[in-house]
Structure 1
Amino acid sequence: MAKEINLREIFMIFKKRFWIIVIITIIATAVGYFQNNSNPTSLYQSSSRIIVGANSEYMKTLMVIMKDPVIMEKVVARLDLNRSAEALAGQISVDSINSSQVVRINVVDTDPVVAADIANATASVFKSEIGNIVDFNDVSYLSEAKVNPFPINSKSNRTIKIAFVMGLIIGVGFVFLLHSLDDTIHSHQEVEELVGVPVLGTISKMNKRNIRKRKKKQLEIEYGGELFDLKKT
């Protein structure tokens, strides 16, 4: 039989197991906090732009050459970098802005100055060497890379906020799951629904507190009666 849940019952469910929601939310938020701070290395990006006078098909070939080891090795040598040509190529991305002849050379590095130097050196080496690789020389500078002091992976509280909301949702869902699996009868109304007859009386839960209250009430009745008799005499 499906359980009918009213607002008062929902409130009592949350009140009874509110600590579960709190614990799950705290754990999820803590995980989000550590995840948000798990990448301490700041990364910086800088871009240089060149104009390449080629059609869209030939442009793809030229952009591939731009990251080829023959270009990257000369950039490494010019800047005296302590990395391989393949590793340097992994830091660089090349794209055509809005499918135009303007090519953007993006570089990501842990040092903002080095990122700008690599972007400018790549543009310079490509311009000077492309004629020796293929029969093409229509390359000109548009703008050089500037040092960008702001990291592109700056930390934000977005992950923490998402973790908090997810923890809250999971906690509430878990509480409702526990309630749906709980077959304990909590009220005489549930007994009446199950057996189909009215409940004539209930037996209070016997614990130490109830026993002390009952004894106190009996003593008050007994001593109250004696006092009444003494007053009459």
Structure 2
Amino acid sequence: MSSFPEFDDRQHEYKQAKEINLKEVLQVLKRYVWIIIFLTIFTTSAGAYYSFTTYTPMYQATSRIIIGADASLITTLKVIIQDTTVLEKVVNKLELSYPPEVLSNKITVGSIENSQVVTITVLDSNPEQAATLANAVAETYKEEIPKIMDFKDVKRLSDAKVNPIPINQDRNKTVIIGFIGGIVIGIGIAFLLDSLNNSVRKEYEVEELLGIPVLGSVSKMKKKNMQKKKKKQARFEYRSETLGS
């Protein structure tokens, strides 16, 4: 036996309350399961529709150049790569249908840490076009930078290659978000509707409303239960008749 009976009683009451709360949660979910299922199907379908109708595969290609300068000068030279002075030449050379400002938004200029290697990365919906643009920008920059800053120490390190794999090929992300969101929203609405429902469903609710203890309750009559009772009664009568004879 425990030397702390009061603690044991409290622990027992806590376990009972926890079990009751868990049962109530499961009952609420079961009562409004059709809402949860409907919202989950709706949000998942909406996510799938949005993903497959708005999805555009994007491809990336990178060209590398070497700039023979110190870190501070390289920073300045990198900025000029995306300047309209250089990109306008690229637009005219490739006869692009959009202005230099649009081309600038497709380009990301970076550098490998502690080196003179500068990367020119282009993002486009066409993999061949992405590689063509990256190489054209690198070549045009090498040609134009001596005219702009009288700087000639720029070398092509590697050309951009066509990458047939899109960088945003994961289209299931929106579908998964829609699925999880539907479940969360459905559960939230289920508990909201349950809190707004003022009907009396539990014995303790009757006790709280009337202020008197409940001595007993009548279980819900179901067709399945009635059939079981009839079968049991028929078996009992059959046995009684057999024993009597």
TM-score, normalised via structure 1 length: 0.78
Structure 2 counterpart of 1:176, one-letter code: F
Which structure is higher in helix share? Answer: 2
User: Does structure 2 conserve the Cα–Cα contact (< 8 Å) formed by 1:46 and 1:146?
Assistant: yes
Residue among 21, 43, 51 paired with 1:6: 21
Report the alpha carbon displacement of residue 27 of structure 1 after superposing the two structures with TM.
1.7
Deviations 1:11-51 (A, max 9, x none): 32222211111111112212221232232332211010001
Identity %: 46
In structure 1, the gaps of 5 or more residues are: 214-233
User: Does structure 2 conserve the Cα–Cα contact (< 8 Å) formed by 1:47 and 1:116?
Assistant: yes
TM-score, normalised via structure 2 length: 0.75
User: Does structure 2 conserve the Cα–Cα contact (< 8 Å) formed by 1:37 and 1:155?
Assistant: no
Residue among 97, 102, 106 paired with 2:117: 102
1:179 aligns with 2:194: yes
User: Does structure 2 conserve the Cα–Cα contact (< 8 Å) formed by 1:36 and 1:155?
Assistant: no
Distance 1:76 1:202, change over 3 A: closer
State how many pairs are aligned. Answer: 206
In structure 2, the gaps of 5 or more residues are: 1-16, 227-245
**Structure 1 vs Structure 2 CA RMSD:** 2.6
Report the alpha carbon displacement of residue 204 of structure 1 after superposing the two structures with TM.
9.5
User: Does structure 1 conserve the Cα–Cα contact (< 8 Å) formed by 2:35 and 2:186?
Assistant: yes
User: What is the distance in 2 between the residues matched to 1:146 and 1:87?
Assistant: 22
User: Does structure 1 conserve the Cα–Cα contact (< 8 Å) formed by 2:52 and 2:171?
Assistant: no
Report the alpha carbon displacement of residue 140 of structure 1 after superposing the two structures with TM.
0.9
Residue among 99, 117, 120 paired with 1:84: 99
Report the alpha carbon displacement of residue 151 of structure 1 after superposing the two structures with TM.
1.5
Residue among 34, 37, 59 paired with 1:44: 59
The residue matched to 1:45 in structure 2 has which SS? strand
Moved more, 30-39 or 164-173: 30-39
1:67 aligns with 2:82: yes
User: Does structure 1 conserve the Cα–Cα contact (< 8 Å) formed by 2:87 and 2:137?
Assistant: yes
The residue matched to 2:137 in structure 1 has which SS? helix
Structure 1 counterpart of 2:112, one-letter code: I
